[in-house]
């Protein structure tokens, strides 16, 4: 389902779509975009509050990972 959704995103209008999603959805999108074997899903660690950017179009995806914000130290 996630791959189908990615493939239907418009590319001509230059618009951006922001999706706030559970880690399971992000893992599925990454497996699809990377064309990785389905078992890879269980080996992807999506940190809370992190950002994953997927750009491109159906069949040609680019990924960028930004780490989760630093947690304040508890002194």
Helix (H), strand (E), coil (C) string for 19-35 = CCCCHHHHHHHHHHHHC
Amino acid 51: pLDDT: 85
* Of the candidates 10, 11, 12, 53, the residue with the CA atom closest to the CA atom of residue 33: 53
Is 22 inside a domain boundary? Answer: yes
- 75: pLDDT confidence band, cut at 50, 70 and 90? low
Amino acid 74: pLDDT: 62
Is 71 inside a domain boundary? Answer: no
Is 45 inside a domain boundary? Answer: yes
- pLDDT tens digits, residue range 21-70? 888 998 998 898 888 999 999 999 888 888 888 877 777 888 777 766 55
Q: How many other β-carbons are positioned within 10 Å of the β-carbon of residue 56?
A: 13
Is 72 inside a domain boundary? Answer: no
For the whole model, what pTM was predicted? 0.71
Which structural domain range is residue 39 located in? 2-66
Q: How far apart are CA 60 and CA 66, in angstroms?
A: 20
Count structural domains, the chain.
1
Amino acid 72: pLDDT: 59
Percent of residues in the chain assigned helix, strand, coil, to nearest 5: 30, 20, 50
């Amino acid at each position: 389902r996630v791959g189908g959704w990615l493939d239907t995103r418009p590319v001509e209008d230059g618009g951006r779509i922001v999706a706030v999603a559970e880690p399971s959805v992000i893992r599925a999108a990454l497996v699809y975009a990377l064309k990785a074997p389905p078992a890879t899903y269980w080996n992807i660690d999506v940190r809370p509050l992190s950002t994953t950017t997927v750009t491109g179009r159906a069949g040609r995806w680019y990924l960028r990972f930004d780490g989760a914000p630093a947690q304040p130290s508890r002194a």
